[in-house]
Amino acid sequence: MLLKKWIVNALILCGALGFGATATAQQGLRSQRPDFLIGFAAANDFWTLQDAQKFSEVAAREFNLITPENQMKWAIIHPESDVYQFAAADAHLAFARKNQMKVHGHVLVWHSQIPAWMLEKNWARNELIDAMYSHIDRVMGHFKNGVYMWDVVNEAFNEDGSMRPSFWQKNLGDSHLPLAFTRARLADSRAKLLYNDYNIETLNRKSDAVYKMVQAFRKNGVPIDAIGMQMHITSGGIDMTSFQQNMKRLANLGLDIYITEMDVRIPKNAQEAGLPDQAQVYAQVLKACLAQPACKGLQTWGMSDKYSWVSGFYKGFGSALLFDENYQPKPAYFAVEHVLKSTQ
């Protein structure tokens, strides 16, 4: 343990002093382990950012998996009942194709970012099921062969394992989950289907509920391929033994596991001091993922700290990603790179 900490610290120091930093970072994480998916969430319309060129350059160099951070969500892609807007998501796919990246579609059924036309309507059960089906058919159909994996349902559970009283739950009850997954398989039989949520990394009441849901899916022949563990955590880390046990029980159900939205936030008043801890947390999580054959990829929720949801949401926290605001690799980057290299 001490030795491990020492190694990580030494690596961090090398990074901080710039030894090999530029040369190493320019090789890119994706080239360290081409068999592993290493990805990021791309900012809205990233090709229009004032530093679009830099953003695209770093993204293409580092990652082989991309998620549009917002631009496949219902409110954006299907803003009116008869209007679909695919242009922004299409641009993500074109970027992915050009740079040999896989695409992670996010998200088909979620309680948030539902457009007003959906929320304002009084739905009869069958009518809403039809609307959900046609959304899934149209969106998955549009991106068929272009999207490798889809978050079919996102964040359906409360922390205590009960169902979140979402728009979907209120109108359709628990059945909205199997209905969505079954339809998604029909809409694109090749895409991997994920259930995605936060705070389900370790053994707890919420991850127990996800586990039970998958058991029921298996029993009833409802398709599901993987669990997405979002992994929005702090530089205090998570219980690694519990994380490993949780991955193991999911793997035993025949599921793959993806870490889908990782960020490791640091208190703003302890940014410098927090960087080594943050690096260690990234390294430990990646290492555990690589040690579990079912764990197929890790994505961060953003790329540069310049564009991250964290400081807007968690007041007093920030600096949660692998690159700083100037796209310079942080100690966490070097720690991740080291793990990828040393576990080949």
DSSP state of 157: B
Structure tokens at 150: 């889809």
Query: Minimum Å distance from CB 7 to ligand 9MR?
Result: 32
112 binds ligand 9MR (CB under 6 A): yes
337 is catalytic: no
Q: How far is the CB of 153 from ligand 9MR (least distance, A)?
A: 12
> What backbone torsions phi and psi does residue 172 show, to the nearest 5 degrees?
-120, -10
169 binds ligand 9MR (CB under 6 A): no
Nearer residue to ligand 9MR within complex by CB, 148 or 334: 148
Cβ–Cβ under 8 Å, residues 285 and 238 = yes
69 part of the interface to ligand 9MR, by CB under 6 A: yes
Task: List the x/- string, 22-61, binding to ligand 9MR by CB under 6 A.
Answer: ----------------------------------------
Confirm or reject binding of residue 309 to ligand 9MR (CB under 6 A).
yes
Binding mask 127-166 for ligand 9MR (x = CB under 6 A): ---------------------------x------------
C-beta of 8 vs 72, nearer to ligand 9MR? 72
The DSSP H or E segment spanning 66 is strand 65-68
CA distances to 111, 115, 126, 199 from 132, in Å: 13, 13, 10, 26
- Output the smallest distance, CB 230 to ligand 9MR, in A: 5
DSSP state of 189: T
218 and 225 in contact (C-beta within 8 Å)? no
Which listed residue (24, 199, 230, 278) binds ligand 9MR by CB under 6 A?
A: 230
Q: Which is closer to ligand 9MR, CB of 323 or CB of 334?
A: 323
Q: Which is nearer to ligand 9MR, 202 or 230 (CB)?
A: 230
Residue nearest ligand 9MR, CB atom distance? 309
Cβ atoms of 207 and 201 within 8 Å: the answer is: yes
272 is catalytic: no
What's the distance, Cα to Cα, between the start and end of the chain in Å? 21
Beta strand extents in 168-326 (DSSP E only)? 192-197, 226-229, 232-234, 256-267, 295-300, 317-318
CA neighbor of 228 nearest in space, from 208, 254, 244, 247: 247
Q: From the candidates 69, 155, 201, 337, which is the catalytic residue?
A: 155
- Nearest approach in angstroms of CB 340 to ligand 9MR is 24
294-320 per-residue burial string, b: 16 or more CB within 10 A, e: under 16:
bbbbbbbbbbbbbbbbbeeebeebbbb
Given 201, 261, 277, 305, the residue binding ligand 9MR (CB under 6 A): 261
* 8 Å CB contact between 343 and 285: no
Enumerate binding residues for ligand 9MR (CB under 6 A). 69-70, 112-113, 154, 230, 261, 309
Q: Which residues are catalytic?
A: 155, 261
